């Protein structure tokens, strides 16, 4: 059975990946050199129970999203990732669909930027990965809110401070960027569903979409109102990965400023609330 082979492959690869390779501390006594199920769960955002059932062959139909997350967490190469999809009875996403694949080299770069808020988005602006400092700065997203376009048109908003003019400019840029992505991936059904829902539920998005503008979402200087360290004004740069449509969002502070001090404090307290 494919699921039995999948389970064996997951266990084997988990045993081969050290915590250091996966960007985790290796402290404490360990019976084996590889990742614990709890650590794989943390890295992939998949429950420990579900990983156990996959490894034991008791789950038969993991979704493409789950397999992608496991492949990413296990630092699989392109061929290894494709093989994992095949073992799960799935076809690896092709070049005609928006890719969620983060190369091991990009993953290693993120592992080393522990003092800088960094997140990776796909071409449709769905967040694929964020380091702890980015999550502490911006917050943690789930469900539809993992997509930045959905979040800004239909979600509960963010910690980024906006005037009506800047909020409108951001939404216009996002709609134009999503149109550019749609033209690159005309066969991606998940992307089409996202756009259809946005058009149906947001009159502003529908109006912007009808305008036909195509553009890129660019870097900017942003002020984040953080509930524990106060306001931080940071440079937000969006970097592209050569040969990929991944977008890497990086927040940095000017050295020697109060913003840099507050960002350093946030790196210490992480996602924990300040206590008196």
Rounded CA-CA distance 263/136 in Å is 10
CB-based contact 247:240 (threshold 8 Å): yes
Q: What is the mean pLDDT of residues 247-259?
A: 96
pLDDT value for 276: 39
Domains: count for the chain: 2
E strand or H helix at 247, and its extent? strand 247-252
pLDDT value for 64: 86
The reply to whether 240 falls in a domain is yes
Extended strands (E) in 77-212: 118-121, 127-130
pLDDT higher than 50, residue 42:
yes
- If asked whether residues 227 and 130 sit together in one domain, one would say yes
- If asked whether residues 156 and 249 sit together in one domain, one would say yes
Mean pLDDT of the chain: 87
Region of 139 (left: φ > 0; alpha: ψ -120 to 50; beta: rest) is: left
The reply to whether 149 falls in a domain is yes
pLDDT value for 198: 97
- If asked whether residues 46 and 132 sit together in one domain, one would say no
The reply to whether 275 falls in a domain is no
pLDDT value for 271: 57
Structural domain of 42: 2-87
Sequence-distant (≥ 6) Cβ neighbours of residue 77 within 8 angstroms: 104
Position with higher pLDDT, 119 vs 214: 119
- If asked whether residues 41 and 113 sit together in one domain, one would say no
CB-based contact 24:11 (threshold 8 Å): no
- If asked whether residues 158 and 127 sit together in one domain, one would say yes
pLDDT value for 95: 76
What is the tens place of the pLDDT at every residue in 69-96? Answer: 899 889 888 788 889 989 998 887 777 8
CATH code, domain with 254 = 3.30.450.180
Q: Looking at 76-90, 184-198, 260-274, which range is the least confident one?
A: 260-274
pLDDT value for 1: 43
Boundary (domain end) residue, out of 28, 53, 87: 87
Confidence of residue 255 (pLDDT cuts 50, 70, 90): very high
pLDDT value for 272: 60
pLDDT value for 193: 95
Q: What is the mean pLDDT of residues 253-270?
A: 94
What is the tens place of the pLDDT at every residue in 121-155? Answer: 999 999 998 888 999 999 988 889 999 999 999 99
pLDDT value for 25: 72
Burial of 218 (0-12, 13-18, 19+ CB in 10 A): exposed
Q: What is the mean pLDDT of residues 239-258?
A: 90
CATH code, domain with 48 = 1.10.260.40
Question: What are φ and ψ of residue 163, in 5° steps?
Answer: -90, 165
Q: How far from the centroid of its chain's Cα atoms is residue 99's Cα?
A: 12
- If asked whether residues 73 and 108 sit together in one domain, one would say no
pLDDT value for 45: 83
The reply to whether 274 falls in a domain is no
In order, the DSSP letters of 111-136 are: HH-TTS-EEEE-TT-BEEEE-HHHHH
Q: In which residue are the tokens 């979409």 written?
A: 209
């Amino acid at each position: 059975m494919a699921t039995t082979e999948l389970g064996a492959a997951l266990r084997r690869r988990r045993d081969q990946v050290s915590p250091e390779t996966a960007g985790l501390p290796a402290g404490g006594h360990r019976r084996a050199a590889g990742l614990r199920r709890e650590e794989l769960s943390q890295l992939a955002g998949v429950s420990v129970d579900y990983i156990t059932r996959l490894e034991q062959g008791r789950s038969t139909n993991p979704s493409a999203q789950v397999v992608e997350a496991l492949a990413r967490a296990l630092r699989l190469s392109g061929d290894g990732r494709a093989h994992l999809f095949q073992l799960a009875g799935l076809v690896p996403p092709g070049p005609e669909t928006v890719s969620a694949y983060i190369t091991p080299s990009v993953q290693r770069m993120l592992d080393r930027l522990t003092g800088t808020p960094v997140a990776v988005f796909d071409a449709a602006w769905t967040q694929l990965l964020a380091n702890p400092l980015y999550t502490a700065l911006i917050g943690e997203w789930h469900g539809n809110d993992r997509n930045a376009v959905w979040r800004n048109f239909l979600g509960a908003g963010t910690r980024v401070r906006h005037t009506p003019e800047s909020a409108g400019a951001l939404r216009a840029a996002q709609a134009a960027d999503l149109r550019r992505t749609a033209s690159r991936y005309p066969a991606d059904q998940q992307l089409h569903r996202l756009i259809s829902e946005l058009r149906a539920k947001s009159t502003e998005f529908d109006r912007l979409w009808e305008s036909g503008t195509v553009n890129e979402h660019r870097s900017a200087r942003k002020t984040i109102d953080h509930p524990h360290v106060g306001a931080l004004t940071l440079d937000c740069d969006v970097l592209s990965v050569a040969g990929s449509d991944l977008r890497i969002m990086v927040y940095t502070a000017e050295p020697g400023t109060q913003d840099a001090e507050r960002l350093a404090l946030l790196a210490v307290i992480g996602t924990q609330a300040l206590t008196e």
